[in-house]
Chain A
Amino acid sequence: MTMNDHVHIDEHRDDEGAKTGMWIFIFTELLLFGGLFIVYSVYRYLNPLAFHLAAHELSTFTGTINTVILLVSSMTIAMSISAIQYKNKKLTLILMGVTLFLAFLFLVNKYFEWSGKISHGIYPGSTILQEASRGEILFFGLYYTMTGLHALHIIIGMAFIGYVMRLVAKDKIQHDNFIILENSGLYWHLVDLIWIFLFPLFYLIT
């Protein structure tokens, strides 16, 4: 752009500022889900029994597996930041690759979970759900909206990490210049953080 050909933008890099920016962005994401958590808590309060019943439809096992997957992936991306600081490029790439693989696994799981539900005729607007109680309609509405939005964030996170991996591979990110890696890690932990709350709210209220 017009100003890039010189000076101050690259002159002094501000890692701290980039991190502050990332955190503020994370706050907006938290509040985005926060709005849905408000909806969830209100309808859960108004329809306790129906939510309880509807949750039986979800498999605690699948939910637990996905929680474990996300927690492990959160650890690997956190470790990759230590690895780059120890100047271990290879390990950094491996750890990031593992994170991406686990994220993919999470999505595969989610795919089978969703398609299972949909093949049973449980999806917003389906005839089976139309005949269900209102609480159950709301439960599944929330289930699809919240896990769907979460899955979308997984995909965005994967794209972000994938992009950063390229930068690591090309040595654009090194032991003294890894703020983008740190920020992609922060984003990934956010995804994890939201799941930590989604999991008990949907899978553990039976």
Chain B
Amino acid sequence: MEKEQHPHIVRYRTYVYVLIALLFMTLTSVAVTHIYLGPYTVATALLLATLKSTLVLLIFMHLKFDKKFYSYMVAGVFLLLTSVIIITFLDYLYR
């Protein structure tokens, strides 16, 4: 990652590390289900899913190495979807 090359080549090793991290988080989220019960289970599972997807987006999908413009767009789309869900819940939470 440190080499300034154009276009960027990601080393195989980086991908392996990312995969290990992803698998680790997957197993953690499964394990957590067996330990806790209650609202935190969902929160943990979603938090881990978010972390996993961030890793996929940054490394596998090259957002880290591409122009910043792509990252902004992706962030914008996720923000939009979150806002839509929140506004929809203004109805269901207070009905």
The minimal Cβ–Cβ distance linking A192 to chain B, given in whole angstroms, is: 6
Interface residue range, chain A:
35 or more
> B7 contacts which chain A residues (CB < 8 A)?
85
B contacts with A: majority SS: helix
> A185 contacts which chain B residues (CB < 8 A)?
60-61
Contact: A60 with B33, CB < 8 Å?
yes
Contact: A193 with B70, CB < 8 Å?
no
> A68 contacts which chain B residues (CB < 8 A)?
23, 26
Given contacts A23-B70, A23-B73, A189-B56, contact A64 B18 (CB under 8 A): no
Contact: B41 with A204, CB < 8 Å?
yes
> B57 contacts which chain A residues (CB < 8 A)?
189, 193
Chain-B contact segment, one of A5-13, A70-78, A149-157: A70-78
* A30→B84 CA distance, assembly (Å): 13
Report which residue of A20, A72, A75, A81 has the largest number of chain B beta carbons within 10 angstroms of its beta carbon.
A75
Judged by a CB distance under 8 angstroms, whether A104 is at the interface is no
> A193 contacts which chain B residues (CB < 8 A)?
53, 56-57
* A72→B23 CA distance, assembly (Å): 9
Judged by a CB distance under 8 angstroms, whether A174 is at the interface is no
Other than A19-B66, A189-B57, A197-B53, give 5 A-B pairs with Cβ distance below 8 A.
A23-B73, A46-B92, A60-B33, A71-B26, A75-B60
> A189 contacts which chain B residues (CB < 8 A)?
56-57, 60-61
A-B contact pairs, 9 of them (CB 8 A): A27-B77, A34-B81, A37-B81, A42-B88, A68-B23, A71-B23, A185-B60, A192-B60, A205-B45
Contact: A78 with B10, CB < 8 Å?
yes
A91-113 near B? 1/0 per residue, CB < 8 Å: 00000000000000000000000
* A161→B92 CA distance, assembly (Å): 41
Judged by a CB distance under 8 angstroms, whether B1 is at the interface is no
Q: Which partner residue on chain A sits nearest B12 by CB separation?
A: A79
Judged by a CB distance under 8 angstroms, whether B40 is at the interface is no
Q: Which of B33-64 contact A (CB under 8 A)?
A: 33, 41-42, 45-46, 48-49, 52-53, 56-57, 59-62
